[in-house]
Amino acid sequence: MSHDTTTEGTDTASEGADTISRRRLRWERRLAALRNWAGILKADRLGQIGIAILAFFLFVGIFARPITVEFGSAWFQIQPFSLAPHESSARVADESLAPPSREHPLGTTSLGRDVYSQVIIGTRVTLIVGTIAAFMAVFIGANVGIISAYYGGWTEDILMRITDVVYGVPFLPFAIALVFILGASLVNVIAAIVLILWRGTARVVRSQVLSHKQRPYVESARAIGASDFRIMYVQIMPNVLPLITLYAAFAVAWAVIAEASLSFLGLGPPGMISWGEIIYDARSAGALREAWWWVFPAGVCIMLFVMSVFFIGRSLEKVVNPDLRHTQ
Amino acid sequence: MGLREYVIRRVFQLILTLWTLVTLLFILFRMVPGDPTSRFVMDYPSDAERQARIEELGLNEPLYIQYIEYMGQLLQGEFGDSAHYRQPVSEIIFPLFLNTIVLMFTALIIAYTVGILFGAAMGWFRGSRFERVGIIATLVARASPEFWIGIILVWIFVFQLGLFPRSGIGGYGGELTMNFVDRYINFDFLRHLILPALTGAIVYLATPALLMRNTMLEVLKADFVEIKQAEGLPERTVLYKHAARNSILPLVTVAAIATGAAMGGSVIIETVFNWPGVGREMVASVSRNDYPVAMAAFLLMGTSVIVMNFVADILYLYLDPRVKYE
């Protein structure tokens, strides 16, 4: 700060410039972090493959079917393209369980539906559940972690005991029970996943914040008179953000696997075809043996999607933990 | 805080967690929209009989009395009666739980043996092609949901090669009444066990393999490894006898936690292979509204998770003297 200025006018002016430069400094720091990751990514083949696969699925998910928005009787098409040739539940062939042909690249189901379209449209549920559930879980987990570590005392006791209890709940059985009791819907599936998934982030973020709390920069921020909120979210949070991002990547993976597993049990969101549900349909139709074209594409898609997230997570891990950088 | 005090505190925490789980379960299964009694008391020929059954089960009482009775029952090891099987839940659920334990233990033993050896080798040959392919392979296995691995195995070994039975546990229908030896020690059972156990093994392999590799990288920096190499011991001896042994410690606690989680994670594998265990029974009983069975299955799975987490904490204390009690 420049305190050598004499007149009030120049003082506020220079302070204004000071805040601008500080903001710029912060942005530059963020940019540097991003560049850091980009630098690591340049040498990390798996991370590149992961991003490419994820981008591909994102593209497919957005352009799977036209997206329309309705306002009463009026409707707008915000996305007119359609990669999937048919609706997922449209009966397009008289012949059921037809093997792949030119007309139906991945064959048809026992009800004469086009598997190729179903797989493309199924990308959407995966993307929706993966992003929303992971974001919510990490949001809750990070806040629980930061608040409990920062305040300590009974706040920490209560929050961490709750985390312990959640650690005692088996993930999938809980999700099954909750979805079954409340009814299968997109919201309930996401809720069931979020209610369990936040626990990992909470514990890890807490232990990181505990170590940051002791550091001089927090002390000096407190000495200046910064509020608790400011110290937690402006001072400490950026330092644990890489870790939170890493856990977000893994949360996406677990959320997608959980959704696929629920759908495989027939508890997926109704009216929305998903990869897990395609396999559930094939299994309930008793077609696992003969109709490989019905089962395999969806399974491969789940595997590729989760794999891409893992690959990205691994390269993020190198940002969080520089020791890993030299070990491939 | 001393060791003894820590353990006592941890035991109290265990009890508190179990109590919370039980309460959570009670709330969860009474969150059912509509008339909750319809979920517990199913088709009875007349209204009077149905009413009598409701009163017999105490479902007409206020919730807090139901809660107290439910807790009392649990403390006596009773889970109530199953509407579907028309017999006490405990008689049905424990043999099923044993099936789950046998399946998941086999899977975990394979996963941890192979995973530890494989992970140690990956750490030893760091930077090599073997390590890179190994990591990708573990990540691919990790990225596949259980049902997908199960379906691939079924497709290869049952549909194409015809080597193993598709599903079930073998035996002649009377499997639940047979004693332990007759039930599990026979060739037919083994044939049924291989595919589901292999599925579990592939799913659980990634954690020990990756963790073992990471700790190996740490241990390999230590001086004693170099000394052993300088002594002229064969590479294999240094790798498995000296380096790997010292990397195994963190895996013990992880294995304990994984065992608990596996009891709850068996749902999908059991469903794919129609394995008569608690997981499959839970899915089945929830869908046929047989709530006492579903609650008991859930409770058994949750209890294994909590108890094994506790075991992991205590093991960690005894194995690593450097740990400070929190």
What does the pLDDT look like over B230-253, one tens digit per residue?
888 887 787 777 777 777 777 888
What per-residue confidence (pLDDT) applies to B40?
Answer: 58
* Better pLDDT: A32 or B136: B136
> Which ipTM was obtained for this model?
0.84
Neighbours of A22 (CB within 10 A): 11
Q: Tell me what the mean pLDDT of segment A192-208 comes to.
A: 91
Average pLDDT, chain B: 80
Closest CA in chain A for residue B264: A170
Place of tokens 């003082």: A11
Amino acid at B70: Y
Q: Which residue has the tokens 């929830």?
A: B286
pLDDT in tens, B154-213: 988 888 887 777 777 766 544 455 566 666 667 777 778 888 999 999 989 988 898 888
Task: State the pairing for strand pair A67-71/A74-79.
Answer: antiparallel
Ordered DSSP codes for B121-155: HHHHTTTSHHHHHHHHHHHHHHHS-HHHHHHHHII
Residue that the structure tokens 């650690």 belong to: A167
Q: Exposed (0-12), middle (13-18) or buried (19+): which is B100, by Cβ within 10 Å?
A: buried
Residues of chain A found within 8 Å of residue B24, distances taken between Cβ atoms? 165, 169
Cβ–Cβ under 8 Å, residues B312 and B256: yes
Looking at beta carbons, which residues of chain B come within 8 Å of A254?
A: none
Residue among A257, A265, A279 whose CB faces B283 most closely: A265
pLDDT at A272: 84
Interface test with B, best of A211, A292, A303 (most B CBs within 10 A): A303
Cα torsion at A73, A77, A78, A83 (round to 10°)?
A: 140
Mean pLDDT of A101-110: 76
Q: pTM value?
A: 0.85
User: B302 vs A170: CB contact, 8 Å cut-off?
Assistant: yes
Say what the pLDDT of residue B42 is. 56
Q: Which domains can be identified in chain B, with CATH numbers?
A: 3-75 (no CATH), 90-216+247-319 (1.10.3720.10)
Q: Which residue of B has its CA nearest to A328?
A: B127
Predicted local confidence at residue A257, as pLDDT: 92
Measured between alpha carbons, how far is A222 from A238 in angstroms, rounded to an integer?
Answer: 17
